[in-house]
Amino acid sequence: MSAIHLLRKLSRKPPSRLHRNLLSSTFSMDLPPDLARTTLIRPFSNHPAIFTNSHRLIPSCFRQSNLLPNLVSEKTKSIGLSSREFSTSVVETNTSDRVVGLSPNPLVIERIHKGEETIGESVSGGEIIGNEIKKSEETLVREESEAEKEAWRILEDAVVRYCGSPVGTVAANDPGDKLPLNYDQVFIRDFVPSALAFLLKGEGEIVRNFLLHTLQLQSWEKTVDCYSPGQGLMPASFKVRTVALDENTTEEVLDPDFGESAIGRVAPVDSGLWWIILLRAYGKLTGDFSLQERIDVQTGIKLIMNLCLADGFDMFPTLLVTDGSCMIDRRMGIHGHPLEIQSLFYSALRCSREMLSVNDSSSNLVRAISNRLSALSFHIREYYWVDIKKINEIYRYKTEEYSTDATNKFNIYPEQIPPWLMDWIPEQGGYLLGNLQPAHMDFRFFTLGNFWSVVSSLSTPKQNEAILNLIEAKWDDIIGNMPLKICYPALEYDDWRIITGSDPKNTPWSYHNSGSWPTLLWQFTLACMKMGRPELAEKALALAEKRLMADRWPEYYDTRSGKFIGKQSRLYQTWTVAGFLTSKLLLANPEMASKLFWEEDYELLDICVCGLSKSGRRKCSRVAAKTQILVR
């Protein structure tokens, strides 16, 4: 896009309704003089909260960025663990290095230096969280491997700056790539593992900047051929562009892509959900809750939630989306109610319930969030779960049942059970279906959706265990030579032709069609740690570590066992690098990891708002459901 074109696009933007509302509200976000000056340009005029020219107060983000370097002395880094009630404490590690910790029981990571080089780190502290995570009282001394050192270098090189401040990481930095397409942009979903790696290392500034700048993009006037998608949508990605204002002056602008340039014009539904999840993670890992409490940030959460909870024609509590609206951002038969979106939706709902301040203006939304959480978890636990017993039930289903208490509610014909599944399903273990619609079950195993269900407690504790049992039993299929298959199995022959539209990039066992994506390691690690089985993650990580550096950090691998670097795979893919580092850091810091997952919420299990009493004409379908949602 030419600079003129871009500037025209920027100057066309009238203030949105949100903008007007925000203008009339009394809050202001104060930026330091430098940033405030450089950002007083069109793209941000949408969001007055950021673009007030007020320098009255030291802005909280800059207080934070000033604070973090204080936590990190030249020789020693300390990450204070905190909850909302943290108290600042001072931990003396030696007389010359004073380190500020933030919790009564801080986790201390000491970088061990030899000359200029970091050669390892020592971790101490931690406590038992629930029953599922082990205490790390002992001091570990861990030496950074060559792969880790290189990974940090690549991650630092991938950092994108805007007006001098770090705001994200590019998707890939492949020097040999002559046609980067949009891989030179900051993708919201791709940045999450980078953000976690930085946070776990004690660097919060880039994450804070990312969250605030993407918040500005949310209120952007977005159009696809003169149609405006809903307010609250977060872009799939953004790029920092330098545009000439006149002969002598240039300005940097952030240019978002809401799908209007994306291949296939796919809707980035997962972006807003990841944004909310990252916002909570930022608070949990830094102890800086002031960010989520800001009025503009609260408004951002509400806009995303309102968009997700808006009434439509849906019959189910699951979120109805078009194909390719998440990590798999191409046609792959994942329209309707795909699991990945549901698990992210569920955790975004839980995060929002935790972060929204309850007052007169938010109480209805908070109530709607709780009700949706409860209905969504029931629906997924009850109808998406498959194991050998359930497959046998489906195999014997009666069809064409017309009644409110039908067994085969979705009218699934037993012939739909794919032959591969009958042999594949292990005695122990199970998983959540890829998708469920009227008369259709997608029996493919989708990795991210299943892992994130474990992490967020969308699935029951027993189901969580069973999902990891399945991974163990099917190790060669899901992990093979390179963790982890994005889904299993591949669509082949007519399925590939009809469902992908003969997509040459998504041929069987490649890319989204059952390619292996090392970035998924961090979600796997979190799921394993939550379930007290870190050794599974360690095994997968060791496998990845053997190849990733030598293979130059590919985006994905191909073939049934993940043996070859993907045919069109980018090299030096940032989220491959960041996923690897985040897994390493999570395993080394179990207490930090425990801040990123959710335990069962028993309160949610009690909520039922349908109003149908057992004695009424009709029964509540939940009560009538045969299975116990807690124990299944």
Residues of this chain that interact with ligand GLC (CB under 6 A) are: 171, 187, 189-190, 327, 329
CB 245 to ligand GLC: min, Å = 31
CB 391, min distance to ligand GLC, A: 30
Q: Which residues of 541-574 are buried (b: 16+ CB within 10 A; e: fewer)?
A: bebbbebbbebbbbbbbbbbbbebbbeebbbbbb
Question: 77 or 189, CB closer to ligand GLC?
Answer: 189
**Which contiguous run of DSSP H or E holds residue 586?**
helix 574-588
Nearer residue to ligand GLC within complex by CB, 155 or 327: 327
Any idea which residue has 């696009």 for tokens?
A: 9
- Shortest spacing between CB 187 and ligand GLC, in angstroms: 4
Contact 544, 483 (CB under 8 A): yes
DSSP state of 99: E
Q: Which is nearer to ligand GLC, 50 or 171 (CB)?
A: 171
Considering beta carbons, is residue 49 or 327 the nearer one to ligand GLC?
327
DSSP state of 415: G
What residues pair up with 238 in beta bridges, in sequence order? Answer: 186, 256
Burial of 99 (0-12, 13-18, 19+ CB in 10 A): buried
Least distance in Å: CB of 171 to ligand GLC? Answer: 4
Least distance in angstroms from the C-beta of 494 to ligand GLC: 24
User: CB of 185: closest distance to ligand GLC in angstroms?
Assistant: 8
Between 80 and 554, whose beta carbon lies closer to ligand GLC? 554
- Which residues, 6+ apart, have CB-to-CB distance to 550 below 8 Å? none
Q: Which residue is at the shortest CB distance from ligand GLC?
A: 171
C-alpha span between 487 and 562 (Å, rounded): 12
Nearer to ligand GLC, 190 or 465 (CB): 190
Query: What's the min distance (Å) between Cβ of 444 and ligand GLC?
Result: 16
**Residue 385 or 575 having the CB closest to ligand GLC:** 575
> Residue for token digits 């699991």?
339
To ligand GLC, the closest distance from the beta carbon of 507 in angstroms equals 15
Question: DSSP letter string over 275-330?
Answer: HHHHHHHHHHHH---HHHHSHHHHHHHHHHHHHHH---S-SSSSPPB-TT-SSS-S
Tokens 């971790």 label which residue? 123
Please report, to the nearest 10 degrees, the dihedral formed by the alpha carbons of residues 226, 231, 236, 237 taken in order: 90
Nearer to ligand GLC, 187 or 522 (CB): 187
How near is the Cβ of 596 to ligand GLC at its closest, in Å?
A: 20
Q: Write the DSSP assignment of 528-584 as a string of letters.
A: HHHTT-HHHHHHHHHHHHHHHTTTT--S-EETTTT-EE-TTPPSSBHHHHHHHHHHH
Contact 378, 622 (CB under 8 A): yes
Shortest gap between Cβ of 555 and ligand GLC (angstroms)? 7
Considering the complex, state which of residue 130 and residue 504 has its C-beta at the smaller distance from ligand GLC: 504
Q: How far apart are CA 322 and CA 329, in angstroms?
A: 10
Which residue, 171 or 536, is less far from ligand GLC as judged by CB? 171
| Spatial distance between the Cα atoms of 353 and 373, rounded to a whole number of angstroms | 10
CB of 127 to ligand GLC, least distance (A): 36
* CB of 179 or CB of 631, closer to ligand GLC: 179
Place of tokens 């009424």: 616
Greatest pairwise CA separation for the chain in angstroms = 78
As a whole number of angstroms, the distance between CA 406 and CA 397 comes to: 10
Cα 222 to chain centroid distance, Å, stands at 23
Dihedral sign (CA 578, 579, 581, 582)? positive
Q: Give the nearer residue to ligand GLC in terms of CB position, either 47 or 189.
A: 189
108-114 vs 557-558, strand pairing mode: unpaired
- Looking at the Cβ atoms of 104 and 504, the one nearer to ligand GLC is 504
* Residue partners of 497: CB distance under 8 A and separation at least 6: none
User: What is the C-alpha separation between 484 and 267, in angstroms, rounded?
Assistant: 25
Residue from 340, 308, 311, 310 nearest 323 by CA: 340
Q: How far is the CB of 329 from ligand GLC (least distance, A)?
A: 5
Residue with tokens 């909280």: 60
Q: Are 458 and 342 in contact (CB under 8 A)?
A: yes
Residue with smaller CB distance to ligand GLC, 160 or 171: 171
Distance of alpha carbon 67 from alpha carbon 45, whole angstroms: 29
- E strands present in 391-434: 430-432
> C-beta of 256: minimal distance to ligand GLC in Å?
14
Shortest distance in whole angstroms from residue 327 CB to ligand GLC: 4
Nearest approach, Cβ of 190 to ligand GLC (angstroms)? 5
Name the residue nearer to ligand GLC (CB basis): 210 or 383.
210
What is the rounded distance in angstroms from the CA atom of residue 566 to the CA atom of residue 553?
Answer: 11
Q: Smaller CB distance to ligand GLC: residue 148 or 329? A: 329
- Smallest gap from Cβ 263 to ligand GLC, in A, equals 8
